[in-house]
Amino acid sequence: MGRAGFENRAGRKAGFMANFNKVILVGNLTRDPQMRYTPSGTAVCDFGVAVNRQWKSHDGENKEDVCFIDVSAWGRTGEVIAEYKKKGDQILIEGRLQMQTWQGQDGQKRTKHVVVAEAVQFLGQRREGGGSDQGQSRPPRQAQPAQGGGQQAPGGGQQAQGGGQQAPGQSGSHSDPPADSFGGDEIPF
């Protein structure tokens, strides 16, 4: 059985099986983002997100459940998260699931799923002075004329796109919006 199709109950080939790997989460950071760099110099930001779910049981009792999810953001998206977000901040993440595999200290093979962020939107209140006090954060970037940088997201928030991929027609790295397009307390993407 290949990727071109699968056999149905009658044993005949059916159509192409599509693949889709998309995750959308809104939650709160469970810890301050941690920056690291690959040997080639690519920025990687690792952090955790807690997503709450509330419902009523059959007997009418309010219930709550929390799901803890590990997230990785690459490139400029990761740098911006590390610079402006900290534990407790709310964030919207669009990304994909990826399985990580490693060998534990006991010699056993270990696996876990993480979300690789491809786009993020900062939610909630803005804080003064950025979010991270890690010493690895870079000074705020100065505004420059835009060349198709961050997109205006629904609801007026700024949206950063990353994951090491660029849209066709874009060159280089993310550029900032024009100086007059954001107030002094907004985050320039």
| Collapsed DSSP state (helix, strand, coil) of residue 83 | helix
Of the two residues 90 and 186, the one the predictor is more confident about is: 90
The answer as to whether 78 is a domain residue is: yes
Mean pLDDT of 68-92: 96
How many domains is the chain partitioned into structurally? 1
pLDDT value at 34 more than 60: yes
The answer as to whether 132 is a domain residue is: yes
The answer as to whether 13 is a domain residue is: no
Mean pLDDT of 75-97: 96
- Report residue 172's pLDDT band, with 50, 70 and 90 as the boundaries: very low
The answer as to whether 74 is a domain residue is: yes
Q: In CATH, what number is assigned to the domain containing residue 96?
A: 2.40.50.140
Mean pLDDT of 49-69: 95
Mean pLDDT of 17-23: 91
| Structural domain containing residue 124 | 23-181
What's the pLDDT score for residue 124? 83
The answer as to whether 85 is a domain residue is: yes
What's the pLDDT score for residue 89? 96
The answer as to whether 151 is a domain residue is: yes
Beta strands (DSSP E) in the chain are: 23-29, 34-37, 43-56, 62-74, 90-103, 109-122, 151-152, 158-161
The answer as to whether 16 is a domain residue is: no
* pTM of the complete model beyond 0.75: no
Evaluate whether 176 touches 189 at the Cβ level (below 8 Å): yes
The answer as to whether 75 is a domain residue is: yes
Mean pLDDT of 91-106: 96
